[in-house]
Amino acid sequence: MDRIQSGGINPRKLFIIGVIALFTSALSASLRPALGADISNDAFGGSGELITTALGVAFLSFAITTFIISPLLDRIGMKQTMIAAGVCFIAAALTIAAGHWAPPEWAYRTVWLGMVLNGIGWGCTEGTINPMTAAIYPEDKTHRLNVLHAWWPAGLIAGGLIGYGLGIVKAPWYLGILIIAIPAIVFLFLIKGENFPKTESHDLGVSGREMLTEIVRNPSFFIWFALMFLTASTELAPGQWVDIALTDVVGMRGILLLVFVSGIMFVMRHFAGPIAHRISSVGLLFVSSIFAFVGLLLLSNAHNPAMALFAAAIWGIGVCFMWPTMLAIAAERYPRGGAWTIGLIASAGALAIHIVLPKLGKIYDVALKSGATKAEAATTSFETIAYFPAILVVAFGLILLVEKLTAFRVAASEQR
């Protein structure tokens, strides 16, 4: 921290900038599915597969962006990548909104391009604020990253309520999309005049080639990379799909379920540090996976508001710690991998949604075409995603067991 302060860097101000930028990312991530049905009816003829493909491409551009900028972050500079994030969010809002006025043959492409720009803005944001937080709070990564990412559900709440409110007053969907530009303008203004740190790997004197070597020499990293596919799919895919799939099934707007879950996540992420210190980061993920599995199974069979809220609460408790804790594990276990290890983990999560989300939409469409009711189609799609946390329970359980046994053997050998 002395190094940070002596370099003319204000950790608190940078953390606030990171919070607002992540809030902007989440606001967009929430407004997209909240307005997804209207966008689909307006531009895609109501196709579940087309709208989920368009929603999913934002995750693909996020994955590509974080993959590219993470090893180059010190060379490009954190300030420049944050400026790029703000510009992309503003351009994305304008582009997606323009899809309403585009000719039918161009509507899909225009919305698709806006989603791509949105993903680039999100990728620049997370590709910067995660290693930035690790750099300015090196002794408290798990807690600080969870507090930072508490503002992801805060943005989801804001976006969900805005989308819901626009639906009540029957306002055009593109007005909601344009709102995304407002917090982007705010954090661009706050960036002016601020100094940003270098990454931890830079301070350790680790080059880009050495970062890559650190990853290659530690095959265990690829286990965490693969697990991020499953944790991200468990958290983000249902959140993007819940409004479109469940609104007509559970007797309430599905986006309100996301708002409810996001409120739980916002509160609980502030307590991640003490919990992780008590049961370990892996233990936290193990318990989280159990709750997520049970919650998704219950959600797939919810057919009234009370059951839907109860199931969503269980699922929300399960997924609230997953994304930031996975990032913290990468930062703690592979520090010489620097921003690239964090960026690759985040890329894996986003890439998973790009792959999984259209599959959910296709499963839903196929079920409807085969004669299933909307409730049956929704049940099928949510039961499919419930397999992911089931796998995670086994995987994190095995990792936890191996690490406990290893610690026991080390302690026993030291006593001898």
Distance of CA 228 to the CA centre of its chain: 11
Compute the half-sphere exposure of residue 162: CA atoms within 13 Å on the CB side of its CA. 24
Q: Which domains does the chain have, with CATH numbers?
A: 2-415 (1.20.1250.20)
pLDDT of residue 293: 94
Give the sign of the dihedral formed by CA 328, CA 329, CA 334, CA 340: negative
Q: How far apart are CA 81 and CA 69, in angstroms?
A: 8
One DSSP character per residue, 96-155 reads HHHTTTS-HHHHHHHHHHHHHHHHHHHHHHHHHHHHHHHHHSTT-HHHHHHHHHTHHHHH
Closest CA to 84 of 128, 141, 135: 128
Residue 90 and residue 184 in contact, taking contact as beta carbons nearer than 8 Å: yes
Token pair recorded at residue 280: 């370990």
Query: What is the torsion angle, in degrees rounded to the nearest 10, for the CA atoms of residue 288, residue 289, residue 290 and residue 296?
Result: 110
Give the DSSP H/E element, type plus range, for residue 32: helix 11-34
Q: How far apart are CA 201 and CA 210, in angstroms?
A: 9
Residue 189 and residue 30 in contact, taking contact as beta carbons nearer than 8 Å: no
Q: Where are the alpha helices (DSSP H) in 320-337?
A: 322-333
Q: How far apart are CA 114 and CA 362, in angstroms?
A: 22
According to DSSP, residue 251 is labeled T
Token pair recorded at residue 340: 């690239």
Token pair recorded at residue 288: 């989280």
Per-position pLDDT tens, the chain of length 416: 444 554 678 889 999 999 999 999 999 887 776 665 666 666 555 555 566 667 678 888 988 998 888 888 888 999 999 999 999 999 988 877 776 666 666 677 777 888 899 999 999 998 899 889 988 888 777 788 888 988 988 998 898 888 888 878 888 777 878 889 999 999 999 998 889 988 766 766 666 677 777 777 888 888 999 999 999 999 888 876 776 667 777 788 777 887 888 898 888 888 877 877 788 889 999 999 999 999 998 888 888 888 889 988 999 999 988 988 898 888 788 877 777 788 888 888 888 877 887 788 788 888 888 888 877 887 787 788 888 999 999 999 999 999 888 877 777 777 66
Residue 252 and residue 308 in contact, taking contact as beta carbons nearer than 8 Å: yes
pTM of this prediction? 0.77
Q: How far apart are CA 187 and CA 177, in angstroms?
A: 18
pLDDT of residue 91: 92
Scanning the structure block, which residue is given the tokens 């620097």?
338
Residue 380's identity, in one-letter code, is: T
CA distances from 242 to 30, 142, 239, 301, 321 (A): 11, 29, 5, 13, 20
Token pair recorded at residue 55: 């929603």
CA distances from 398 to 236, 275, 280 (A): 24, 20, 14
pLDDT of residue 291: 96
Q: How far apart are CA 33 and CA 52, in angstroms?
A: 9
Q: How far apart are CA 132 and CA 294, in angstroms?
A: 35
Residue 235 and residue 353 in contact, taking contact as beta carbons nearer than 8 Å: no
Residue 385 and residue 268 in contact, taking contact as beta carbons nearer than 8 Å: no
Q: How far apart are CA 246 and CA 267, in angstroms?
A: 25
Q: How far apart are CA 331 and CA 61, in angstroms?
A: 23
Q: How far apart are CA 364 and CA 248, in angstroms?
A: 13
pLDDT of residue 40: 61
Token pair recorded at residue 139: 């002794």
Q: How far apart are CA 379 and CA 302, in angstroms?
A: 8
Q: How far apart are CA 99 and CA 323, in angstroms?
A: 32
Token pair recorded at residue 250: 């559970």
Residue 119 and residue 62 in contact, taking contact as beta carbons nearer than 8 Å: yes
